[in-house]
Amino acid sequence: MMKALFIIMTLISSNLYAQNDQISGSYAQSSGNPEGGSTFIVLPNQTFIVAYFGGARKGTWKLKADGIYEFTYHAEAKFVLYGRFNSELKDSVNVSIGVDSREDLAVRFNKISEEPFTPIFNKNANCFSYPYYYKQKGKLNTLEVSVPRDDYYYEDEPTDSVSIYSFKVEENYNDFILAGLSENYSQAGSFIAKYHDGVLLLDEYTKLRKGKNYEDLSEETLNFAKTYTEREILPQILEYGNEFFPYYEHPNENDLKPFYKIASEVKDLKGITFTENSLFIATCDD
């Protein structure tokens, strides 16, 4: 009986591995625009990436039934605050702000009672030149970022509910980076796809034909895919060389010290208010 069960389990496992081998490889999807389409890379270790002009997303996949797969996107944190102690900053705090240019993002430093949030950028802002620096005297105890929720606009009418990303600074930090990712990276989600005879069917209109099998992918492509699926875009420790690390033309030892991620809390609030003035002005003359 045990021998028969072992044989059955072996056959099932072999079938699953065979299907994993069949689906793994690269697929191309055309977009019909000058930026080009996207490349869908499915790895046999049940991870995948979708690479496109200007970015990439990653996730995991699993076999649901014969020829039917579920792909689930990995959701990155929308906002991350990093901190470190910089001995060159005397009795002051510096916050480097690198977030997207949405007009409805606002911040609040060292909240006292229910004081208003300050928009990061002015209305109709353009001509951005990152990073932007906010400086204050004294310690930074809290930093909050306000961003409209996905359902902020209901039937084209704004609601009064927003999401607040709240950071409490308990360490003796005085040098900070507020980094933000576009919604493309922070939105979770999954989809079902069917695979048959070299074609990945995402829906009745979207068919992706396999370009290369996994074993035929170049070493460069495999290294990129594996590295990307194994790392966080905004890691726990931000070190020199990361795209979000500050640029220094002639860095000294102090400049190269790493930043550390500060824990955050996400909550929904209603009825918050905003100041008339923005933290930064980003405007070009016509």
In tens, the pLDDT along 136-192 reads 998 999 999 998 765 444 444 455 678 899 999 999 999 999 998 877 787 778 999
Quick: pLDDT tens for 68-88. 999 999 988 889 999 999 998
pLDDT at 103 over 70: no
Average pLDDT over residues 272-280: 90
Contact 149, 268 (CB under 8 A): yes
Q: Is 163 helix (H, G, I), strand (E, B) or coil?
A: strand
**C-alpha of 284 from chain center:** 29
Residue 157 or residue 242, greater confidence: 242
What is d(CA 255, CA 243) in angstroms, rounded to the nearest whole number?
15
